[in-house]
Structure 1
Amino acid sequence: PESKLIEEIANDVLKRLDATFHSENKGLVGVECPIEEIESSLRIGSEGVCKLGIWGIGGIGKTTIARAVFNKFSRHFEGSYFALNVREAEETGRIKDLQKELLSKLLNDGNVRNIEFELYRLARKKVLIVFDDVSNRRQIQSLIGCLDELASGSRVIITTRDKQVLKNCWANQIYRMKELVYADAHKLFRQCAFGGDHPDASHTELTDKAIKYAQGVPLALKVLGCHLCGRSKEVWESAMRKLEIIPHEEIQEVLKISYDSLDDSQKNVFLDIAFFFEGEHRDVVISFFDASGFEAKIELSVLEYFLHRIRMHDLLRDMGREIVRKESIDYPGNRSRLWHHKDISEVLKKGQNFINLEKIDLSGSEQLMKLPDLSLARNLKILKLCGCSSLMETHSSIQCLNKLEVLDLEDCKSLTSLPNSIHSKYLKEFKISGCSNLKNFPDISSSRIPFLDLKEVGIKELSPSIECLSELTELQIDNCSRLEKISNSIFNLKSLSGIGICNCSNLKGFSEFPFCTIDETRIERVSSSTLRLKSLSSLQIIDCKKLERLPDELGNLEALRVLKVEEAAIREVPESLSQLAFLSELKLKNCSELEYISSNIFKLKSFIYIEISNCSNLKSFPKIPSCNIDGSTGIERPSSSTLRSENCSSLVSLSSSLCMLKSLSSLQIIDCKKLERLPESLVKGTAIREVPESLGQLSTLVRLDLSTNNLERTPASLYQLSSIKYLKPFDNNFKHRLLTLSGDFRNRLKLDLIGLTETVYDGLRKLQCSLKVIAPQSEPRP
């Protein structure tokens, strides 16, 4: 029949088209998986208009993949067009010509005149369009107007180096082009360098070096392969050595297009990252640049994230360094940035007047023992010396670098001293973590440092000069095994929101010092009562085994919300703690010398969680005279509260001042083996709804009052308390449990029924059991 013949013809045409597609893609390497992923995202055949973006650096293969997808699926549409080099068309003034060609192809009409009418016609056809190398949404609008006005079932693919362009075009899906895996990179390089054959043994190592340099970028693999094809081994070796310093020009020309599209401030950010910040934590970099608009900059395809760290492709990094090299090819001292050790060595040895030099990176220079005079580098902004493990001293000229913004001395393990002061008021980043032999912390004039990490630093004393870092928000002191004293002046840092002090095994306490004023015109002494740190919300002191006393200034930390003290030798908690209106979490753990905790802590107005664990010397919570046992002075709180005490082996009793905790919803007493008595007013007037089953494990408990509260039930284990002698229950369903009690239990138990309803009392009186009852007319015995 005729229908079957048509079907056979159609199938034959499709097979021929498939054969055409495979022949067009012959020679392409590593395209199968990307095509499959893009095909899945395009949802060919479904309704609506789907806009898919392909994003990546120059030379990564965006156009190649887009062309392969176009070749495979264009036959499924009523019209299709591949708009090549859109950015270039706009830059050369050919955007109108490109628009006419696009409409002519899509409408199959060689006589396009009335653009508005032709766009109306286009909106009625299901089309596939690829816009290649787009750098601005305006370019697509100039070509075709609003993409959402295309006919349902249409598909649009946009390739770009800038991810933000895809967001501006409201792309439904964004596909990031990935570098070729090693096997595919090796295959592509072989095709170009050896005509597809395997390299002989003498070129194996050089081949691996070339592939490693290209970092999976197809353009780089092709350019290097073609450049080295047929060359001698000596030429290969020379080329590899040169690439370590100077990128291949043809590769750079393609990559530099991304750089050229940036404005001046973005170019500076790009170069700083290429030289100094690649691999740094994203938050640190953003903080350094103080950039409210930096978020847009880091969306450029030249940058990406991995585990919150900023990553830049090696080829882009090398391109940035080459741009700076060309600032002054013959005189490195005239460049704005230096990173190669040979250039830095030449400049420093010759003592050039490097007035243009803004950045020096000597990171990882393991043979550097002494930093030379840098007084001539008057415009130096960044000095990176991290990982210079042999560096023993810095030159005094560092203190006179008045424009210095970054001083990175991280992991300079042999460094013993720094200048007494650093005068740059622009300093934003000061790193000395890992300087395990450093003996002094310098006075720093800058008020711009937001974060200070003192990890594994050899100083014995954190001096009061730290108070001059007025914009410091985070201070971390970790594994400083020689540190003995910390100045109380840290509590006068007005912007500080978090302090962490961990594993400082010799820290003995906080000491009062004179401290500097911001203008440094005078030194004065301030009493602890004047210290009012309004931003500190978290203070953690962990594993400081010689710390015997917490600073009295704790009560002045008005914004403190979290206080954690673990594995310290403190004997008491300051009385002033009760003044902390916002403290919601208090943890005292593994403080084996702790003997005294004022019950004033229960006056904390915002208390949500208190944990006291493994404090083996703590015997009790002392009473406070101002607390009424009936709870009339209790503090009402907006939220429920938890008190947890675990493995306090000497704890004998809890204070009756617990009556102040009107919002107490959870009381956890775990493995406190000497606790014999809970206060009579334990749950009176609190928000506790039920007593946990574990209460039955208190084998020494003799007296329990559960009256005047909001309890909804008691656990069965309550009636298994082996030493209980006095029980005052709450007014709800408990009488049926008494029938199951052993005779021994009933014989020793004294049941207090004062205050219970008449119905409950009458019901109990009718029970045939030998209970000693304190009746409503009686008074309980003491």
Structure 2
Amino acid sequence: MASSSQYAHRWKYDVFVSFRGEDIRKTFIDHLFSDFRRKGIYPFRDDKKLKRGEEIAPELYRAIEQSRFLIVIFSNDYPSSTWCMRELVKILECKKRDDEYEVRVLFYNVTPEVVKNQSDSYKEAFNKHEALNRKEVPKWKEALKFSANLSGWDLQSLSNGHEPKLIEAISKEIFYKQTNGPLDVGDNLVGLYSRADQMDLLQLVEPGKVHMIGICGIGGIGKTTIAKAVFNLLHKHFEAYSFCEDIKGAEERHGLVHLQENLLESLMHASNIKIRSIGHGVSIIKRSLSNKKVLVVLDDVDDYNQLEALAGSPSWFGPGSIIIVTGRDKQLLIARGVEDIYEVDLLHDYEALELFSLYAFRNKDPKEEFKDLANEVVNYVKGLPLALKVLGSFLFMKTVKEWETQLQKLRRSPHSQIQQVLRISYDALDYDQRNIFLDISCFFKGENKDYVMKVLDGCDLFFATNIRVLIDKALVSVCNDRLEMHDLIQDMGRQIVHEESEEPGRRSRLWFPSDVFFVLNKDKGTEAVKGIALDVSRLELNICSETFKNLNHLRLLSFRIRSWNDLRDPNGKIRESKLGIETKVKAISRSLDLLSSELRLFCWHGYPFQHLPLAFYPESLVVLDLSYSYIKEIWSGSKGFIKLVSMNLGHCRNLIKTPDFTTTPNLEELVLIGCENLIEIHPSVGLLTSLVVLNLRDCKRLASPPKCTRLTSLQILNMSGCKKLNQFPEDLGKMKALVELHADRTCIKQLPYSVLSLGNLRVLALGQRGGMQNNSLGSIRWPSVIPSRTHHPPGAVLPSLSNLNKLRHINISHCNLTEANLDGIECLSMLETLNLSGNDFKSLPSLSKLVRLETLGLVGCKKMEALPELPPNIGLIEAQDCISLRELPMRSTIYESNTLCFDFTNSPKVMENQSVESLVTMLLPQGRIDPYKIVSVHLPGSRIPGWFTNQIVGDCIKVELPPDWCYEKFKGIAICLVFTTRNRNRRKSNYGSVWYTFKNYDDTPIGNVHSFPDTVYQYENVGINSDQMHLCYHQSGPDWEKARDFISVSFDVYGKDCVVKMCGARLVFEEDAQEEEQGSGLKMIQWLPLPSHAED
């Protein structure tokens, strides 16, 4: 079965109905089609009348082929119509050819037996056909016999002749199938369809108008589920669509700029869109989407600025667009100009009972002995879906007595306080489970599950076992390895903590900024406080030496930077001193004297003191994160950090040396990224047998590698950017568990032979990028090759490179390597990425045996004269600035990658030995490319090839359609552009992205906005020193059927440095492929596949 995205590309209509018009057109059919429209189901309907014996119009056959659901209504007089019988045969042919078609039959006042046996009125009809349509009769009879056995509906047996019930059943089934789209809306969708009906979906697809629709209601009522169902139903009618889930949470975690980038990337089908500020993002959204028909859902919006940044006005979007916003605050939606607001109703009693029963009994109906109790629960919950699910899950498999006990608790709670319903599940938890639930509610929603497990296991809460209980009770969920929780349940948990005391300082957990400020600045803390969380980028807070003196039982302290934008100065730079980041939490004393020794999590970004308290003995500490802080010394001597698992001291500029690790035997992760003044790592680090990650990236003054004596568990060693480091650790070969080894941008000049004993190595990075030629690996060798000038101990035997047979990614760019250094590389059968940029090769050994290789980097290999034979899965060849490159591989390989890009920017000699036509023919074997692949070719060139019959100077070209224009014979359009830059040879410049749009004679878009793969613009060290050319081929699609008179192709460049000089286009028809005299150029553009674009 095809995915919903495929349906969106393929189906023009939702339903085609075959019926005998004189029987039911003005009664049953009119009502059925009206119900279709109310539910947003788009049917084909043709009201033309055919005379007896007249042939079916071609558009009817086409409509059948373009409809997903094919419904045949057998009435008494159905077979008397030649037209109907031919439609039936066509419908069955479609189903036989492609199982994606959904065929249903309806017996309208006729029995299946009559249809199957062709008796009664059906027999009379065929007696007449025998005289006029003798040849077709056998086929028609067989079609009827086959159809009588298909699934469908019978008016009499299903609804006892009640047509409205039958119509509801038909449209409900189709509606359900339609909502079965790319978004998961869950299983038990009780009441979904009736609520979606109330939104009157038909008016949402009104052409020409941009709709902003609101879905409003309390938490847990099903706003997101309804939005997903509507999205799944409607998305196929739009050029592009995006469902932005959990706007509130996403903004808190990543900021509005990140949300703007995600929205643009999904709607523009692009990647790596970079936005400088919210205002910049608004400008790009307006410019990019103003002519694009899109469907956007903004889920859980709770702030005016969110709408202002993502969908500030209907004018931002193209005609016909729909913007759906869900949220709890109706006034917010009204104030922002959302025109139609749908307030979600609670479930009706019968719906609530069904939903509750599905969770409490795993059946639509309650068990007989539980019926009264189940109705009592439903009466209390008042139709709130989330409460029904949670309570039903809690009562599942409980006895009648247990039910009665829980219902007694319900009776004591006011009906208006719906959160109390959810609290019943909380009350059933044991002590450890409650603490985990409250910690997640207050501190860890959205956090990585493994990270939380480390912290809470350190609190002796047995996380792995107890989290399963919370998940089973529908209190917590895990999505993409992150802990999630419905807002209503989170509110319930936080309310429980709030009710512990009217005084914040006597509550167990503090997360609300004003409460944290009150307790810490007013010295109101007590031993009751177990956890504090604060975003240090937003709340101004002064910390003195005794701020934490009364918080003796504090186990979780998290002062994190969550919003970097709030720490930027007017120029957009992060405010920082010579010692660290300047957060809004300030030190007003020279030191911190007191801190709870019961801490398990101590996270303080920008910690403003140079030392930890002298009386700080955190024997139970699990996670220590003081990144971006002023810390100068963590501890001296041998303090007991016996349970410490993770230590992050990244970007601590004042840190000169690490502490003694003798008392941290369980440390698994040590992060020292960006410690620019670190010069010494204590040798005891080599004794950490549990250490998995050691990250020293950009420790620029570190001159000696860490000791690795017993690092038997180490999987990741990152020394990238340690500019003074000139050797690997002596015991490198003993780290048998090592998976990633990063030593790029260092002064290391010799690859030790012990690296070949690292049999689990998957990533090896040794490249020297960014103007570090003086520090490059001038003598680096693959150990399988021993140049004669190299001296080795007598009898030394070097292992083969094949020992590293698990390697997947290698970066050995700018290492002064030659051909001899790569002998044996063909043994690396698992290799996926190979970066050889900036080396001194003239040629390379064959890479054809590297069957998994997808990316080959050769940027700036200025001596390289020939490309090697390539493997079949190669997807990207980056060969920019290869000024000596002349020879390309012979066309002996059929490239199988779904994405194929050859980039020869600034490699002028590539064109000396072949024309553009022969070059592309050499790279892409004709006739073997899947039409859905993404292929692009980038070449030096300042002239559009002659076989582009339409050429113009500028960035927009008009292509006249021939007088005998026939869509059926149209294969596609080849396009080409030549671009240049305003700043040639400029380095480290992002030149932007090139987008192109097809438009019809009336300026309406044909299909979507498309883009060239933009790798050519992203290289930090590749300047554009001459005109460059892009070639691609765009296959025809259903949207081209409406083309008339002429079409235009316009190119837009997002980026100030890139300019389109000229462009060309050529229409390609079936007959072009048969004309030998057209030459290889025209043949080439016929099989160049589709470039990157959105679905049609």
- Asked which structure has the greater CA Rg, the reply is 1
TM-score computed with the length of structure 2 as normaliser:
0.36
